[in-house]
Structure 1
Amino acid sequence: MNSSEIIEKINGFLVEEFEVEAEKITPDANLKSTLELDSLDYIDLVVVIESNFGFKVKPEDFVGIVTFGDFYNYVISKVEVKELA
C-alpha cells in the first residue's frame, strides 16, 4: 500500500466515523479541533486505525501528532514497518 492509498483510506474512515466534511481534512489542519476530538473519540480513532491497518497504537504515539499531516506520516511509517516485517 503506497502513501496516497493510505491517506485516501484514512480520509475515508475519518469522514465516515467522525462525520467531518472531507474538504476540512487537509495536511495542515489541526487534527483535534477539526475532528472535535475528546478523550473517548481518541479511543475510537485508535480502534479504527488498528482495525484498518493492523498495528497497535500506543497513547504516547499521539504526543507529537498535531496536524493531519503528522497523523498521515505516523500511520504511513507504521504501515511501512509492518510491511517490512
Structure 2
Amino acid sequence: MTKEEIYNQLKSVLIQSFMIDEDDISLDADLYQDLDFDSIDAIDLAAKIHSVTGKQLKPEQFKGVRTIGDAVDVVDELLSKG
C-alpha cells in the first residue's frame, strides 16, 4: 500500500466514522486542533486503522501522531514491517 493509498483510506475513515468534512482533511490537518479529536477519538482511529490494515497499533506508536500526515507515516511504517 502506498502512502497515497493509506491517506485515501484514512480520509475515508475520517469522513465515514468521524463525520469530518472532506474539505477539512489534509496531510497537515492537526487531529486535535483542526479536527477536534480527543483521546477517545484517537483510540477509535487506531482501532479503525487496525480493521483496515489488519495490524495492531500500539499506544506508544500513536502517541506522537498529531497530524493526518503523521498517521499516514505510522501506518506506512506498520505495514512495511510486515
Question: The TM-score by the shorter chain falls in which range?
Answer: 0.7 to 0.9
1:72 aligned counterpart, secondary structure: helix
Question: Partner of 1:52 in structure 2?
Answer: 52
Contact kept? 2:46, 2:62, Cα under 8 Å? no
C-alpha displacement at 1:54, in angstroms? 0.9
Question: Partner of 2:19 in structure 1?
Answer: 19
Contact kept? 1:50, 1:56, Cα under 8 Å? yes
Q: Which is richer in helix?
A: 1
* Number of residue equivalences: 82
The runs of 5 or more residues in structure 2 that have no matched partner are: none
The one-letter code sitting in structure 2 at the alignment partner of 1:68 is I
The runs of 5 or more residues in structure 1 that have no matched partner are: none
Alpha-carbon distance in structure 2 between the residues aligned to 1:31 and 1:21 = 13
C-alpha RMSD over aligned residues: 1.3
